[in-house]
Amino acid sequence: MTTVAAVDLGATSGRVLAGTLANDTLHVEEVNRFPNGAISTRNRRGADLQWDVLALWQHVQDGLRAAGRSGPVEAVGIDTWGVDYGLLDPEGRLLANPASYRSERTNGLPERFFRHLPAADLYAINGLQVQQFNTIFQLLADRDAFLHHPAAASLADRLLLVPDLLGYWLTGREVAEITNASTTGLLDVGTRRWSTTLLDLVRDRCGLDLAGLLPELVEPGTVLGTIEVPQLELCTSAGAPTPLVSVGSHDTASAVLATPAVDEHFAFISCGTWSLVGVELDAPVRTPESLAANFTNELGVDGTVRYLKNVMGLWVMTECLNHWRYEGLPDLGWDQLLAEAAAAPALRSLVDMNDPRLLAPGDMPRRLAHLCREAGEPEPRTRGEFLRCIIDSLALAYRRAVEDACRLSGHEVRTVHMVGGGSQNALLCQLTADATGLPVDAGPVEGTGIGNLMVQLRAIGAAPQDLPGLRRIIRASFPTTRYLPCSGPSWDAAEARVPRP
Ligand code: ADP
Ligand code: LRH
């Protein structure tokens, strides 16, 4: 019996899980859960959106303390959302709260960047979809801000992605775990190293000198050091200090690892704040068609490539629910909310779930109504209709992403695996099966945390070394729910109503 602890921070909530592997079965206990969300303030240029990373750090410590109180903890691993980072000064002190990827500070920056370095040249190296919040564009925003404060620029000595920042606070070790580093846009996706070619180009053409900021890369499964935070009192069963093990620290990498697939013929939907929809490949796809479809090649555990598309996801629903709460509507449970959505007319109002206007926080019902008006779709009138509009539009976006992933990569898909909090949304799962025409296997809900735990268990020798072996344990430990495609309203007709961007 071996127990390890996973810190899994999502953009909507964070948790610390204790995972115990006994007789090839993983048992997971949630020892701490806390809400998360970017915090809105302002600066002299306008709105500012940041993560309260010190509050997260407190929650992480509380969770680890709780895990340690229940018994020995053989290892700890950390994953969070991608792209965001903290900058350290030469003394290793955090300079400022990490900016949120939803901050409007990066509006228009990719277009500016591509004037110096064409998108095709960038994609040929990093294979990454263009999202205005990719770290590379955020650094351009920092540079703009620092132009007004040259002294501050000289203070930035090290860049640590959020999970690596928390890991640094636990161990003192400064690294960049490779799956999350692949979301920066600074990696050569073929060699899995920082791209010196790209770093030179970015320095010469955009005036951004990043080489000194980037730490050593590590693969998932690396023992990073022991946890040196005295108040945590974590120790292993041998009485030694508990080590921190690097995992797929990009939450999506851990989620994909936890897909309980029987073979390679699957598509995944990691369904939480975002929906990440794609296939697992051995090698990146960097064709012009892939670039045009804005598909991304992010790095996975064990040399895999996560070939996927970001779909705006349940964030849009969360923002609607927040808005209705601010307006004083009573909170309803999931069952009642989804019953209202199920009772609303099917495929009545469809929007493009990748419209960039859905990215920033705000009055989401108003934005959805606006997108419907603009597209000539009927505006939703009731809460049920708004929720149905989101769920139908998500299912349509999933259908497109699965089809595109197969077409662009040549990969054959027979099953769709849906993991994450959204896999509890039975209406969304059924409509995804209907829209894709494929069976959907839903679960595990805590896929990301489970992927995190399994990589640690393997690193300390308690779990099989191969990916199919890890997935076999996950399948045996967490039953899934299967949704079969049903005939219903025509998704082909729905498809024609929403133009592709
Ligand atoms: P993240 O890790 O990005 O914070 P999660 O994987 O925890 O996200 O998923 C959060 C989402 O899961 C919520 O936005 C919500 O839409 C959905 N969700 C959570 N619980 C339920 C439930 N009981 N029924 C349906 N959907 C749920
Ligand atoms: C999901 C996620 C996604 C990134 C986004 C910033 O949580 O990590 O894979 O694109 O957050």
Q: Pick left, alpha or beta for residue 189 (phi over 0 → left; psi -120 to 50 → alpha; otherwise beta).
A: alpha
Determine how β-strand 415-419 pairs with β-strand 266-271.
parallel
- What does the pLDDT average to over 245-265? 98
Cα 272 from Cα 421, distance rounded (Å) = 5
Determine how β-strand 85-88 pairs with β-strand 76-80.
unpaired
Q: What is the pLDDT of residues 324-368, one digit of tens each?
A: 999 998 888 999 999 999 999 999 999 999 999 999 999 999 999
Query: Quick one: pLDDT at residue 46?
Result: 84
Ligand nearest to the CA of 337: 1
Q: What is the pLDDT of residues 18-74, one digit of tens each?
A: 999 999 999 999 999 999 999 999 988 888 999 999 999 999 999 999 999 999 999
Query: Quick one: pLDDT at residue 45?
Result: 80
Instruction: Report which protein residue has its CA nearest ligand 2's atom 4.
Output: 82
Mean residue pLDDT of the chain comes to: 95
Q: What is the pLDDT of residues 399-437, one digit of tens each?
A: 999 999 999 999 999 999 999 999 999 999 999 999 999
Predicted confidence band of residue 152 (pLDDT cuts 50, 70, 90): low
Is 251 designated active site?
Answer: yes
From the candidates 164, 251, 355, 441, which is the catalytic residue?
251
Is the model's pLDDT at 125 over the cut of 80?
yes
Which CATH homologous superfamily contains domain 2-245? ATPase, nucleotide binding domain (3.30.420.40)
Q: Where in the chain is the domain with CATH 3.30.420.40?
A: 2-245, 259-443+464-501
Q: What is the pLDDT of residues 230-244, one digit of tens each?
A: 889 899 999 999 999
Q: Is 83 in the pocket of ligand 2 (CB under 6 A)?
A: yes
CA distances to 102, 165, 354, 395, 413 from 390, rounded to whole Å, are 19, 34, 12, 9, 25
3-state secondary structure of 399: helix
Query: Quick one: pLDDT at residue 331?
Result: 84
Which CATH homologous superfamily contains domain 259-443+464-501? ATPase, nucleotide binding domain (3.30.420.40)
Ligand 1 pocket mutation, candidates 80, 83, 273, criterion most atoms within 8 A of CB: 273
Q: Is 81 in the pocket of ligand 2 (CB under 6 A)?
A: yes
- What does the pLDDT average to over 303-319? 97
Is the model's pLDDT at 389 over the cut of 70?
yes
Ligand 2 pocket mutation, candidates 182, 310, 318, 359, criterion most atoms within 8 A of CB: 310
Reading the block at residue 32, the tokens are 């701490």
Q: What is the ipTM of this complex?
A: 0.99
Q: Which atom of ligand 1 is nearest to the CA of 273?
A: 3
Cα 345 from Cα 185, distance rounded (Å) = 42
Instruction: Report which protein residue has its CA nearest ligand 2's atom 11.
Output: 81
Residues 6+ apart with CB under 8 A from 75: 4, 5, 223, 242, 243, 244, 245, 456, 457, 459, 460
Cα 287 from Cα 370, distance rounded (Å) = 35
Q: Is 104 exposed, middle or buried (0-12, 13-18, 19+ CB in 10 A)?
A: middle
Q: Nearest to residue 227, comparing CAs of 86, 90, 74, 93?
A: 74
Instruction: Say if pTM beats, i.e. exceeds, 0.80.
Output: yes
